[in-house]
Structure 1
Amino acid sequence: MSPLFKEIRGSPILWLLAAVPVVFLAAALFPEAHTALFVLSVLAIVPLAGLLSHATESVAAKTGDAAGGLLNATLGNLTELVIALAALQAGQYTLVKASIAGAIVTNTLFMLGASFLLGGLKYHIQEFNRASARLQAGLLFLATVALLMPSVLGGLDTASVAPVTQTLSLSLAVLLIIGYGLGLLFTLGTHREFFSSADHAEAGEAPWPIGLALGTLAGVTVLVALVSEIFVESVQEAAVAFGMTPAFVGFIVVALVGAAAEMASAFSGARKNRLDLSVGIALGSASQIALFVAPVLVLMSYVIGPSPMDLQFWPGAVMMMFLATVTAMFVTNSGRSAWFVGVLVLMVYIIFATTLYVLPPAVR
């Protein structure tokens, strides 16, 4: 365990791990102190994200950036999945859909754009595997097309649309899971040679032993999920105190905090010229949410939900997901990046965030 303790001693930001037991204690003693719980949960998630970042880099050093990015995206999305399942069981389908759409947009635009910017500020030009990025963007495009169809039907104001939308959503959920599985088979199996990382990474510290890295990944992921639940329970009340609209909270705040662990790994990879890892985490996480997490939630709603959930999103959410996907396809087409590319992507995200911030609370 010495590498883990050495990392904690040598990084002042990891000293914030002290906030983890504090937030659990505060949640038990003062469950109505929503603003304080909101701040404490954010302070607790930040150092946990740092630990998850280091552990992921150690795993990626053994498995390659493609598999490392997939592993980080999967573990990072467990947080969103746990939170969404809790909301699903409570019948809060609006919150579930907002978290799905917000996570897709945030990972595709903010995480990818910030990675390009942070890496570009240190390196004049960075390169990444164009084939891998284009495949992830293509999978994301497939998912947005599938999510668009129930929303189009939902706009028809007829009594017979609801059962049709539900049947279509169930069929699309199964289809998207199959597509995601075939994508994994293609990238990690039959054509894995096309998705190897561009070898431009700088030398860094020795990676942790694989056992320690995997154990840290598992333990920290559980803690992030538990702290995130406290965060979600407190964020709505805290948002009122800070003057944020429900739409802004669901799409921006919850998505940013929920993806903090993945972002730490993506940003660290970009600064170390391992842009394949960053792109793999950002687009891999977004496509996994759209192709796997969202369909699983539809299927699970038949088991744990008060009623079946469909894939019908409000038009603004569908438009933002579609434009985020098109933006990702555009900026990853060349396999090269510079700091200004990141600025352009972040500007698109800021436009969305500004729109949601000024949106009246009654509009969704």
Structure 2
Amino acid sequence: MNLLLKEIRHNPLLWLLAFVPVVFAAHKLTPEAHTLLFVLSVLAIVPLAVLLSHATESVAVKTGDAVGGLLNATLGNLTELIIALAALRAGQYALVKASIAGAIVTNSLFMLGAAFLLGGLKHHVQEYNRGNARLQAGLLFLATIALLMPSAVSGADSTAGSAVTDKLSVGLSVLLIAAYGLGLLFTLKTHREFFGGADHADPGEVPWPMGLALTTLAGVTILVALVSEVFIESVQQAAVAFGMTPAFVGFVVVALVGAAAEMASAFAGARKNRLDLSVGIALGSSAQIALFVAPVLVLLSYVIGPAPMNLQFWPGAVIMMLIATMTVSLVTNSGRSAWFVGVLVLLVYLIFAMTLYLLPPRVL
């Protein structure tokens, strides 16, 4: 606990933790002040993301960057899953699908590109495990093909009703979950020797004890989930005040805030020349959302939702996910990175963001 208090005292960014109780109090006292709650929730999530980053790095020192990246992606996506479940219970399926597509695109383009840029500004050339990046890109491509099918069937045959799309979505969800489980077995068990990263850790770093790191991970994840619920409740109304469209909010704002914890870890790892951790977080998070979170939400909609949810996305969303997957496959093929590679990836993301901001789709 002393190490945690010392970290808070010496990191001015963590002083923003004072906004965590403030956002809960404001939500209780003035639940209709959506713009204020939006700003407070963002200010509260930032320091929580920093704490989660430090705790995850400490765990990664003990377990290796491959497991550390998977752990960070899982905990980060747990927050997004909780947010999506709340929207699912309310029947806000458009918001659920927008957040899924936005998270996949944001994690694979913005998070990866920014990590390449930040790491490249400090290190001339960085290397990472090409095999792990190519596997994650392959899993993303598989998921994109699966998400394309319901939209393609519906567009090609107008007689294919919602019943057919729902059945297809359930079958695809089972296949995607099975593929994700087999991918974990392949990378962490049967062929784990091919996916280990090089040790680039700073020898001057003193990681937290495992008990403190795991306790912090659990506690901060719960707090991030609670603050994120306040954020989701206020973001739609606050978006109107800031002139943002629903499409931009779903694909960009919600995805960026939901992935704040993962981004903090990915960026810190890149600056410390631990690019295997950064790549593992960015691509692992995208693959986990596409192969696990989205299918689980489809299956859970039959239990907690007012009606079944399918995997039929707005065509523009599928196109963006496909382009994002192709971009990731292209830039990670060499296993080496420099700052300009990150710039190129970020520009692809900015093209998407600008398009959504100026020309939102009619249907998400």
Partner AA of 1:188 in structure 2: L
Q: CA deviation at 1:164?
A: 1.2
- Aligned partner letter, 1:124: H
2:133 aligned with 1:129: no
Q: In 2, distance between residues paired with 1:290 and 1:275?
A: 22
Task: Find the counterpart in structure 2 of residue 325 from structure 1.
Answer: 325
Q: Report if the CA contact (8 A) 1:246-1:361 is conserved.
A: no
Deviation string 1:170-199 (CA, Å, 9 cap, x unpaired) is 000000000000000000000000011122
Deviation of 1:162 (Å): 1.7
Corresponding residue number in structure 2 for 1:309: 309
* Alignment partner, residue 108 of structure 1: 108
Q: How many residues align?
A: 364
Tell me, what secondary structure is at the counterpart of 2:212?
helix
| Cα offsets for 1:109-165 (capped at 9, x unmatched) | 000000000000000000000001111111111100100001111214634332111
- Equivalent position SS for 1:353: helix
SS of equivalent residue, structure 1 residue 24: helix
Which residue of structure 2 aligns with residue 7 of structure 1? Answer: 7
CA distance in 2, matches of 1:61, 1:163: 49
Match of 2:89 in 1: 89
Is the CA contact (8 Å cut-off) linking 2:228 and 2:258 kept in structure 1?
A: yes
CA distance in 2: counterparts of 1:100 and 1:52, whole angstroms: 22
* Structure 1 segment 175-324 matched on structure 2, within 5 A: 175-324=175-324
Q: How far apart in 1 are the matches of 2:313 and 2:87?
A: 16
Q: How well do the aligned residues superpose, as a CA RMSD in angstroms?
A: 0.9
5+ residue gaps in structure 2?
Answer: none
CA contact under 8 A between 1:153 and 1:161: conserved in structure 2? no
Aligned residue identity for 2:259: A
Whole-Å separation in 1 of the counterparts to 2:353 and 2:340: 20
Range that drifts further, 102-111 or 204-213: 204-213
The structural deviation recorded for 1:17 is 0.1
1:173/1:298 contact within 8 Å kept: yes
Q: Deviations over 1:247-285 (max 9, x none)?
A: 000000000000000000000000000000000000000
- CA distance in 2: counterparts of 1:200 and 1:24, whole angstroms: 40
CA distance in structure 1 between the aligned counterparts of 2:359 and 2:203, rounded to whole angstroms: 46
Tell me if the contact between 2:119 and 2:272 (Cα under 8 Å) persists in the aligned partners: yes
Query: Which residue pairs with 1:74 in the alignment?
Result: 74
- Specify the SS of the correspondent of 1:203: coil
Q: Which residue of 1 aligns with 2:158?
A: 158
1:245–1:361: 8 Å Cα contact kept in structure 2? no
Does structure 2 retain, via aligned residues, the 8 Å contact 1:116–1:338?
Answer: yes
- Structure 2 distance, partners of 1:156, 1:331, is 33
Contact 2:301–2:309 (Cα < 8 Å) also in 1 = yes
Secondary structure in 2 matching 1:310: coil
What is the match of residue 174 of structure 1?
A: 174
Q: Distance in 1 between matches of 2:183 and 2:22?
A: 42
Pick closer, same or farther for the CA change 1:361–1:237 going to 2, 3 Å.
Answer: farther
| 8 Å Cα contact 2:154/2:160 also seen in 1 | no
**Cα contact 1:101–1:321 (8 A) shared by 2:** yes
Which residue identity lines up with residue 98 of structure 1 in the other structure?
A: A
Change beyond 3 A, Cα 1:198–1:25: same
- For 1:175 and 1:154, how far apart are their aligned partners in 2? 20
- CA distance in 2: counterparts of 1:301 and 1:361, whole angstroms: 24
How far apart, CA to CA, are the structure 2 residues paired with 1:35 and 1:71?
33
Identity across the alignment (%): 79
List runs of 5+ in structure 1 lacking aligned partners.
none
- Aligned partner of 1:146 in structure 2 is 146
Query: TM-score, normalised on structure 2?
Result: 0.99
In 2, the alpha carbon distance for the partners of 1:255 and 1:322 equals 17
Q: TM-score, normalised by structure 1?
A: 0.99
Q: Kindly state the Cα deviation for residue 205 of structure 1 after the two structures are TM-superposed.
A: 1.9
Structure 2 residue matching 1:267: 3-state secondary structure:
helix
> Is the 8 Å Cα contact of residues 314 and 363 (structure 2) preserved in structure 1?
no
**SS at structure 2 position matched to 1:197:** coil
Q: Quick check: 1:50 aligned with 2:88?
A: no
Q: After TM superposition, which residue ranges in structure 1, 4 or more long, deviate above 6 angstroms? A: none
Q: Partners in 2 of 1:11 and 1:306 — Cα distance? A: 45
Q: Is the 8 A contact 2:72 2:281 kept in 1?
A: yes
Deviates more, 1:146-155 or 1:32-41: 146-155
Superposition deviation, residue 100 in structure 1: 0.2
CA contact (8 A) 1:23 1:40 kept: yes
Whole-angstrom CA distance in 2 between matches of 1:261 and 1:217: 11
Partner AA of 1:190 in structure 2: T
1:290-310 Cα offsets, whole Å, 9 max, x none, are 000000000000100111110
For the structure 1 residues 342 and 358, does the alpha-carbon distance in structure 2 shift closer, same or farther, using more than 3 Å as the test? Answer: same
Partner-residue secondary structure (3-state), 1:155: helix
